[in-house]
Structure 1
Amino acid sequence: MTAGPTGSPRTRRALLELAALAVVISGTLLVLGFLVGTPWRPLLFRDGDSLALPLILQSFAEGRPAAWVMTSQLFLFPELPVFGAAWLLTGGDPAAALAVNAVLNVVLLYGVLRMLARRLVAARHRRLRPAAALAGIAVLLALCLTEGRALNNEGALATTFLLTTYYYGAVLTGLAGLAVALGALRERRPAARPLLLVGAAVSATTLSDPLLLVQFVGPLLVVLVVLLMLALAAPRAVLVVAGTVLGAAALGAALRIPLGFLIGTDAGGYLRLPLAGTALDDLIVQFLVLKAPLIGKLEVALLGLLLLAALAVVVAGAARVARGAALDEAARARFAVCAFLPAQTAVLLVVQVFTGSSVSRYLMPIPVTATVVVIALIGAAAAHRRNAGTRLTPVVRVVAPLAAAGLVVAAVPATAAVASAAAGARSDPDAGCLERWIDGRELAGVGSFWSTRPLDLYGPASLHVQQVNFDFTVQLWMNNLSDYRDRQYSFVLADRSPDWAGLARGTLGDPSDIVACGGFDIYDYAGTDGETELNRIVQSSVEEQRRERGY
């Protein structure tokens, strides 16, 4: 008797993949449900950088003139398409879209890990591939739970990948490019189509985020040199892969030139060599603070073990080659990805120090790449067992579906917690205080980057607040220059840290009234000389930027 359609191998594989995807989504929602009940919640819903994409789409939806200026990152690919999908799925609800974007980050990573699992786990153990990719996701989510200090710039690593709408794009492109490179290196004459696709992705991502150069291109070149030295890849294949990646990155960098009017600061603005010593000291302090609590020790231990395991695979592989032993395709791929993690770690740390940066989020690729090492270790373990992964034991056949079902069920209340947090993102006591003070009047004001952006995104249409620098000139940093024009600014949102009250009094004089609103005070300059001076500074800087950028 032949099996029916539902019993065909193809159908079973499809059901297995759908089940794995359900596990990924459920696990991510469980972690999100926990994190939105901690101090990490503002990073997801109110972080100034993450709000760039919802502000852009909200501006487009409202038909406002577009004169956007970003940072060195443009968020064009893949961040904008991914968040656009989240925006459509949630009907344009910005907070809900931010939560969905977090889930999509992990789902896309799972897809990339599945690509890598095809290279790292031999074909005879193909049933292990979904489980290996799931193990990588589990490690990443576990690392997110170990980061108890809700400080995105001081010790946060894995959580940055999960909770933000930026930086993850270069990591995903890099790992997808690594998977394609592993496939190309198997052949003496690599197929053109996969390399063209990865070249297009590298170009688009470099155009959007030059961090790809240090997160992926640099470490990949190091690995290619090692593979060439050990004769683990054909010279022609190495040259083709290196040429494709370098050429694509150069094209992406060149395409940034005509888009200079969109770039708030170029990559050179981040080079601060005199601060290298300070950056090194800060990173050491962050490491010591990170590992002080028990949960921090777990994160450091897990990442350290994965890094040591990667180095062990590299050393063992090099020793086998030195003895004249041959490595099969999967073993060569495992050698390459295990060499990639220490290469990437070294490149990122060197760049971090010599650019004078002490911001830990730039090291976020390290824990994400470490998940690939998990897959490599599973593939290596399977290779040491003659028939590993070819048959599932009765215990696994029973326990695995039950565990997956339990995870899906447990995700239901977590999903409700995330939805509740998203619904509550609009309600903020400080914002409510400001709205009551405005009371329907057509007023406009200015404030810091951190105070104004959530108000701009979640506030009513009658609320007009724009971000400015300490000298009250326009601050063009992931915002729309056209939003400053045709406004009469009459108040300042004076944050407590840093002291915007002192800045306001020093530049604009004494206000006519001060209203306390918790996190900030409203300095009302209506009818004073300070109002005239504020508008002179803002509008003159608007016109200067408009001429400089051609808007």
Structure 2
Amino acid sequence: MQRTWVRELLGWMLAAAVALIVAASVASTPRSELLFRDGDSLVVAMFAQSVLAGTPLDWAMSSVLFLPESALFTGLDALLPVGINGLFAVSAVVNVLALYGAVRLVAGRRQEGRAPVAWSVIAIGAFGALAMTEMSPSRDALELASLQLTTTYYSATVVGAVLAIGIIRRMLDGARLVPMVFALAAIALVSTLSNPLFAAWTTVPLGLITAIGALRRASRGRMLVALSALLTGTIVGLLARIPFAGWITNTGAGYAQPDLWQDSIGYYGEIFGERLANPLGILALVLTVALLALAVWRTFRSDDDGARFIAVAAWVVPLLVVIGAIALGTHAARYLQPLAFAPILALVALPRALRIPGILRRQLAAVVGVALLVGGGISIPRLASAANAPDADAACVTDWVDASARTGAGQFWTVRLPKLHLDDPSQLVQVDHQLNGYAWLVNRADFDAGTVSFLVEDAQTVEWDLPIQAIPDDIIECGRYRILDFGETELPLGPQRS
């Protein structure tokens, strides 16, 4: 028992080291744009600010509610004495650690001849290697593993999907059914409530796998129980979204455009080609293909129901998700994240201990462990440096707005970063180019201001079409930003739209 406890603790320590190395690496590349500055990526931090400040919560979300992500970030914000970017950095590490915990569940219980902790660390290391090949600042790049480090791009849904796979594996391995059923239903409920994409990533493909698996007499009962729990949790999760209807400004139904499936193939083919234009992209492809090949091989070589289920899930889930994304005519790389997290599960489908002498195995583990821990320690100041990198242009805007004690506005991609870093974020209202309130991933309480007296713009700003004739009294240059100060002139806000 003591050795098991020590082994599990070492696994978490090594996983933490991997998480630090990966987060520091990604944060030190142009991909850091998604961690610290991307307009979409800031919504969870903005929501946490509203909760902790006690402002009225009248949020306009997308089809995703970000409930687990917001709970985590709000807790970190309340507990840690660091700035917003520091919280983003900590959250990135925690997200990778959470994925390790889910992978460890998938790996199953320790048995004679198996090393689930070691293989779980190897699996999260493989995932981290994929993330470290990703350097593009674009949210539309086919760079999927690094999205797990963000607060917005479905990190909780990824963890929920892997947890669901792990729970079903434990059920097939003979775990007590009642607690497993409740756990699986709860994961499905919370994940679907927060993000209905869970149904496409998890419920549909795992439902198909378990339904086919139920044709085998030996595993029929537990497969059907797992299928029932998964479906029940998903359905209840969808129903639980009804009370949040006022916050959901887009149900997601509009994203499905089956008649555009040919355009979808072209889109995904284009970003796939862009990924392969980089040697690191080729390396990531080779690693992914190797993991998928391992999953297929283990599908036909495993005589254990739990191991076979994991092996099947590791290649069938990403295959079905890609087919489904194309069939629905989607155009978003982030929908294909199972291509990054599912294949690594092949490494823990049957986590056999290496067949090498015990003393050599321990020495090898010690060397790798020390190297990871040292790498993790070295990565802490590197990650802190990336999180604390100055942004003089944004600081110029926030300093001016804070000192003005007035309310201004800006368009979505322009205004969100300075808005997040203000002492009072409501001083910057999110609008469109006609000064209508743009109710998208923002607290609609901001629109109560009614009027604004300055505008913030940058290269992404669409040319203004103001509701009244007005000329700015002054223009303040802040590097990539400009502040158009209208002084005593009050510009009226138009009706809200999303």
- Normalising TM by the smaller chain, what interval? over 0.9
**Structure 2 residue corresponding to 1:131, chosen from 118, 140, 155:** 118
Distance 1:364 1:462 in 2: 32
Partner-residue secondary structure (3-state), 1:184: helix
Partner-residue secondary structure (3-state), 1:229: coil
Residue 505 of structure 1, CA deviation: 6.1
* Match in the other structure for 1:385: none
| 8 A contact 1:280–1:358 mirrored in 2 | no
Partner-residue secondary structure (3-state), 1:65: coil
Matching of residues 128-527 of structure 1 within 5 Å: 128-186=115-173, 191-231=177-217, 233-234=219-220, 236-316=221-301, 327=303, 331-376=304-349, 379=351, 382=352, 388=353, 393-424=358-389, 427-435=390-398, 437-438=400-401, 440-461=403-424, 464-486=427-449, 488-497=451-460, 499-500=461-462, 502-504=463-465, 510-527=471-488
Residue 536 of structure 1, CA deviation: 4.1
Distance 1:135 1:67 in 2: 43
| 1:81 partnered with 2:46 | no
Residue 416 of structure 1, CA deviation: 0.9
Distance 2:493 2:95 in 1: 43
| 8 A contact 2:24–2:383 mirrored in 1 | yes
* Match in the other structure for 1:104: 94
Distance 1:85 1:512 in 2: 43
What is the one-letter code of the residue matched to 2:312? A
Partner-residue secondary structure (3-state), 1:154: coil
Distance 2:86 2:419 in 1: 16
| 8 A contact 2:27–2:383 mirrored in 1 | yes
Q: TM-score, normalised by structure 1?
A: 0.84
Residue 462 of structure 1, CA deviation: 8.2
Distance 1:390 1:295 in 2: 32
What is the one-letter code of the residue matched to 1:394? I
Residue 215 of structure 1, CA deviation: 0.5
Distance change >3 Å, CA 507–CA 408, structure 1 → 2: farther
Deviation string, structure 1 residues 435-468 (Cα, Å, up to 9, x no partner) = 4555722222111222222212212338811212
Residue 524 of structure 1, CA deviation: 2.9
Deviation string, structure 1 residues 321-378 (Cα, Å, up to 9, x no partner) = xxxxxx3xxx2222212221332223221332233322211111221111111122x5
Partner-residue secondary structure (3-state), 2:201: helix
* Match in the other structure for 2:83: 93
| 8 A contact 2:35–2:88 mirrored in 1 | yes
Distance change >3 Å, CA 446–CA 123, structure 1 → 2: same
Distance change >3 Å, CA 436–CA 102, structure 1 → 2: closer
Residue 186 of structure 1, CA deviation: 4.8
Residue 233 of structure 1, CA deviation: 1.5
| RMSD between aligned residues | 2.6
Partner-residue secondary structure (3-state), 1:150: coil
Distance 2:292 2:442 in 1: 39
Bigger mean CA offset, 462-471 vs 27-36? 462-471
| 8 A contact 2:439–2:496 mirrored in 1 | no
5+ residue gaps in structure 2?
Answer: none
* Match in the other structure for 1:324: none
| 1:32 partnered with 2:23 | yes
The sequence identity of aligned pairs, in percent, is: 26
Distance change >3 Å, CA 343–CA 232, structure 1 → 2: farther
Bigger mean CA offset, 152-161 vs 391-400? 391-400
What is the one-letter code of the residue matched to 2:225? V
Distance 2:383 2:214 in 1: 48
5+ residue gaps in structure 1?
Answer: 1-9, 318-326, 383-387, 546-551
What is the one-letter code of the residue matched to 1:216? T
Deviation string, structure 1 residues 514-548 (Cα, Å, up to 9, x no partner) = 333332322333445xx43xx141xx439xx9xxx
Distance 1:159 1:232 in 2: 39
| 8 A contact 1:82–1:104 mirrored in 2 | no
Answer with 1 or 2: which has the greater Rg.
1
Deviation string, structure 1 residues 150-188 (Cα, Å, up to 9, x no partner) = 32222111010123344121121121111211232356x
Bigger mean CA offset, 486-495 vs 194-203? 486-495
Distance 2:341 2:57 in 1: 35
| 8 A contact 2:201–2:321 mirrored in 1 | yes
Deviation string, structure 1 residues 47-69 (Cα, Å, up to 9, x no partner) = 22332222122222222122122
Residue 489 of structure 1, CA deviation: 0.4
Bigger mean CA offset, 254-263 vs 270-279? 270-279
Distance change >3 Å, CA 462–CA 297, structure 1 → 2: closer
Deviation string, structure 1 residues 226-269 (Cα, Å, up to 9, x no partner) = 212344522x3222221111111111101111210011210213
Distance change >3 Å, CA 436–CA 50, structure 1 → 2: closer
Distance 2:372 2:314 in 1: 30
Would you say how many aligned residue pairs link Structure 1 and Structure 2?
498
Residue 470 of structure 1, CA deviation: 3.7
Partner-residue secondary structure (3-state), 1:262: coil
What is the one-letter code of the residue matched to 2:496? S
Matching of residues 37-56 of structure 1 within 5 Å: 37-56=28-47
Distance change >3 Å, CA 205–CA 112, structure 1 → 2: same
What is the one-letter code of the residue matched to 1:514? I
Residue 307 of structure 1, CA deviation: 1.5
